[in-house]
Amino acid sequence: MKLLCPLIPKFKSHLALLWGKITRWVQIDGLLMLASLGSAIILLVNIVGTVVLNTRARNSNIFHGNCSKASYIDSGLHAIINVLSTLLLAASNVCMQYLVSPTRKQVDEAHERGQYLDVGTQSLRNLWLVCWRRRALWIALAISSTPLQFLWNSSLAQTFPLSSPAVLVVTPDFLNGGTVDPKETVQTIDQRYIQAQVDYLVGEYPIRLDPVQCLSRYVTTTSNRSDVLMVSSYDIVTGSDTRRFSNNSLLFAYNPYGFDGPGNYWECGISNSFDCRKPKEWKANPSIAKDWNIFGYRIDYCLTKEIDLNNLCSIQFLLPIMIVVCVTNAAKCMCILNVTLMYFRQGEKPLVTIGDAICSFLQDPDLTTAQMCLVTKRELSELQTRHRSCDLYAIVRGPQSSTWVRPRVSEYHFSRNRWCQTASRCTWIFALLSFAVLTILMSTLLFVCLQRVQYNSGAMNSFLDYGFGSIRAQMQMRLGDLWKASYARATACYILFSNVPQFIASIIDFQSNALLTQMHVNQEWQGYGRKRKALRTSAPEGMQRGTYFLSLPWRYAVPQKTFLAVLHWTLSRSLFLVPIETYHSDGTFQLRYGTQGFSVWPMLSSLILCFLMLASLILLGFRRYDGGLPLNATCSAVISAACHQPKGERDAHLSPVLWGALSDNEIVLDSEVAELFPGIRDYCGEVGRTEVERQSVSVNSETQSISASEMNGEDIELDTADPQSSNETKRKLTIRHCCFSSAQNVGRPVDGMLCM
């Protein structure tokens, strides 16, 4: 009864049974159905949302009103978009991993050619060995992710309202209908000065501002400003009264066109002794700005009126972009549905997890990897390089033998390897490279944007006062000569530029998922060396366990996807298109054009998230395995070599299994078969013994002649004679076999044990 206890499942509570029903949906068939259902729902949301928003949009605006409310709506919609894109990308990754998962037939064919395949992880190696249909679907899923990441976040954009005021510096006589001579004015603005003079006389400029109040309003382009009359009675440059120009009461006229940037032009000339871009200083001490002047004309006071721009913000809906998103989403949905149908129609199921591979090799052992129970991926690669041509060992073992596999004796050494050693070098290189590219790109953009903030606001640290992802005049810029381009062309350029980091983040998602998968698959593999466990398969039978998120448990998959969703959201708030809408002084719409908006806080947040994700991966890489199994569990040949169970053991794949050394009856080799094991001679030479010769192999019991395929699970005793010894003292070498087994005679191998 004691021996049967490990095989009897324990009683499950109602909560555990409920959890079992829930986890039924995270088996491979459930995951594929969820991926199809999820992608279809996301497609439906996109189509319905596009139709509804386009129907209700007025002049491409789905919202027009309060700027604070528009900002909240914009942030919320972008958060929803990033959640949906992350879920769609996760569904795509599930299907892509399934598509490159090899079948047992493909694995056997690869082993016969002296090659191995990857199991339980995304693999470009497998991509070129699967059928053309799978390869085409994998490429289609990968390509369809690109336009989604480039365009989806830019389908909505919050507009930025600006007024286009006329700025008039006048003498006090102007207010009394004084003479105006445009030819004597520094810069004119058509005939608006005449209208301004008439408007003042009829009371259209009711608000009087002192110099500090006036500068506060007009130093930025975002205030509720309108045409302004700046009254000056003193010329600082000449040191004379401006009223001496009796023939011209108009001293200066300027009409800012669109977005010129705050605090850098007419209001902050070199004739001022202070930096008007630093409002904190002169607002705290108004005496600093007492001599504020425009090209030398000291401003006594200002007369203006107010236009309410706070209720002129909009959320722009870009229909062409959403059409591309819907088409791409539909293509991805069709691919995912095709993959799901392929799974249910396919006769031979692929080996999606390492549990699937172990189960398959326990049912039907692969003879090409017999007597190699401790082989590693590195050794296989070396053998593959060294023995590409057929050799004696392949001829002796038969036509199905692999040219890179031979019977070999290895000395077992328990080693607590680090997680980072199990991921391939290419996986680490591409993962680190993608993190480095995004970090360098965002750091460069952060430096450029901080320089722009300093140029616009006078101080680099002024971004501390700006919100997270908010649209500010100080955090906008134009790229190259796009100010000359049409609105459509400029918008397309700004959208592509803004979403380059999003594309790199998608690559990080793919590479970090591959890296985590390879490290955790080996953690699961090593777990079979610690205690007896049921196999985790994609289609469980008997006492097997169901899979979770393919090869990543929820405690790793959920944080990783959450990190990526937040990263995509912060990147969408870091760089974005800003449609500028300008209004006349009477509040009527003038024109629309685009600028490149940026926000420093989201950039810093994105960099912090990158460092946290990279640090988490590196710290996980320093963890150690404690199972004692050979490394590289994603290698099909390594899995196969560990699954040569003893004869007579049936249905082990349906029961909890343990990897370890078997303690069965001892069997020795005859002299002919001994030649097939050069590892014995290597071992004897390493420990200071003489080479084992053909005549030195004897049998303790009745002599038996066995083949390599009969060695599974048996101990091998070799009595070695030392020719240096006069009394022909013989030393006995015991060779064990390590494998997965459901039997009770499985123990953990000890250091120095010879295994085959």
Model pTM score:
0.76
Instruction: Please determine, for residue 581, whether its predicted confidence score (pLDDT) is greater than 50.
Output: yes
Instruction: Please determine, for residue 90, whether its predicted confidence score (pLDDT) is greater than 90.
Output: no
Q: Please check whether residue 712 is in contact with residue 700, taking contact to mean a CB–CB distance below 8 angstroms.
A: no
Lowest mean pLDDT among 219-233, 597-611, 631-645, 693-707: 693-707
Output b/e per residue, 534-550; b: 16+ Cβ within 10 A: bbbbbbbeebbebbbbb
Q: Please check whether residue 660 is in contact with residue 749, taking contact to mean a CB–CB distance below 8 angstroms.
A: yes
Instruction: List pLDDT tens digits, range 179-188.
Output: 666 555 544 4
pLDDT at 714: 44
| Tokens read off for 338 | 């095709």
Mean pLDDT of the region 115-128: 85
- Distance CA(539)–CA(562), nearest Å, equals 28
Instruction: List pLDDT tens digits, range 548-568.
Output: 656 677 788 888 888 888 998
- Identify the band that residue 486 occupies on the pLDDT scale cut at 50, 70 and 90: confident
Q: Please check whether residue 646 is in contact with residue 640, taking contact to mean a CB–CB distance below 8 angstroms.
A: no
Q: Which of 34, 15, 125, 13 lies closest to 548, judged by CA?
A: 34
Residues β-bridged to residue 596: 477, 577
pLDDT at 545: 76
Angle between helices 132-151 and 487-498 (to 10 degrees): 110
- Identify the band that residue 612 occupies on the pLDDT scale cut at 50, 70 and 90: very high
- Distance CA(457)–CA(120), nearest Å, equals 54
Mean pLDDT of the region 158-166: 77
pLDDT at 274: 77
How many other C-beta atoms can be found within 10 angstroms of the C-beta atom of residue 609? 20
Instruction: Please determine, for residue 683, whether its predicted confidence score (pLDDT) is greater than 80.
Output: no
Instruction: Please report, rounded to a whole number, the percentage of residues in the chain having pLDDT higher than 70.
Output: 74
Lowest mean pLDDT among 6-20, 88-102, 689-703: 689-703
Q: Which of 743, 720, 722, 719 lies closest to 666, judged by CA?
A: 719
- Identify the band that residue 246 occupies on the pLDDT scale cut at 50, 70 and 90: low
Q: Which stretch of DSSP H or E encloses residue 557?
A: helix 554-574
Mean pLDDT of the region 207-215: 83
| Tokens read off for 332 | 């991805």
pLDDT at 441: 94
pLDDT at 192: 54
Q: What is the largest CA-CA distance in the chain?
A: 133
Residues in the chain: 756
Lowest mean pLDDT among 301-310, 388-397, 454-463, 711-720: 388-397
Locus of tokens 């790109």: 441
Q: How far apart are the first and last CA of the chain?
A: 32
| Tokens read off for 579 | 């449609």
Instruction: Please report, rounded to a whole number, the percentage of residues in the chain having pLDDT higher than 90.
Output: 10
- Identify the band that residue 610 occupies on the pLDDT scale cut at 50, 70 and 90: very high
Instruction: Please determine, for residue 221, whether its predicted confidence score (pLDDT) is greater than 80.
Output: no
Instruction: List pLDDT tens digits, range 401-439.
Output: 445 555 667 778 777 888 888 888 888 999 999 999 999
- Identify the band that residue 618 occupies on the pLDDT scale cut at 50, 70 and 90: very high
E strand intervals along 570-657 = 575-583, 589-598
Locus of tokens 């078969």: 673
For residue 390, the SS3 value is coil
| Tokens read off for 524 | 């699961």
Instruction: List pLDDT tens digits, range 273-325.
Output: 777 777 777 777 778 777 788 878 888 888 887 777 778 888 888 888 899 99
Query: Which range, 72-86, 669-683, 700-714, 726-740, is most confident?
Result: 72-86
